[in-house]
Amino acid sequence: MEQILNEPKTFKQLDEDPTIQKEDKLQRKLLHLKNICFLTDSEYKFARPVGSQPGNAYELPKTHKDGVPLRPIISARGTFNDKLSKLLANKLKHLRASPTIVIDTFKFVKELQNL
């Protein structure tokens, strides 16, 4: 895990934790969206971040592989935009039922080739 986290192309060590500044910025943006009636009061209360934490990195074993190598996991649970992502997923879920959405790109390419 340390090798992955020390990869400069993937991760950058920060001098300070930006979580609170990002939380404040998102709170202001959500309040603006509520004030212009883009978000309902309940949506605003749900998505508004309070007491956010930075993301976590941990590893889980790949038990089906020889030597049980570890799979890195980056968790955003409890981060400043965690609830916003849940709200957006809920608001956009009706689009997944649309017949025009591409779920499987390989299947989509085959369908295009058969036209």
Provide the residue-wise pLDDT of the chain in tens; the chain has 115 residues.
Answer: 888 888 888 888 899 999 999 999 999 999 999 999 999 999 999 999 999 999 999 999 998 888 888 899 999 999 999 999 999 999 998 888 877 888 889 988 998 998 8
pTM of the model: 0.74
- Give φ, ψ of 46 to 5 degrees: -70, -45
Query: Which domain range does residue 41 map to?
Result: 2-113
Structural domain tally of the chain? 1
Give the pLDDT score at 41. 97
Tell me the residue ranges of DSSP E strands in 23-89: 56-61, 70-75
Give the pLDDT score at 8. 87
Give the pLDDT score at 36. 98
**66-97 burial, b for 16+ CB within 10 Å, e for fewer?**
eeeeeeeeeeeeebbbbbbeebeeeeeeeeee
Residue of 74, 67, 63 lying closest to 11 (CA atoms): 74
Structure tokens at 66: 């020889």
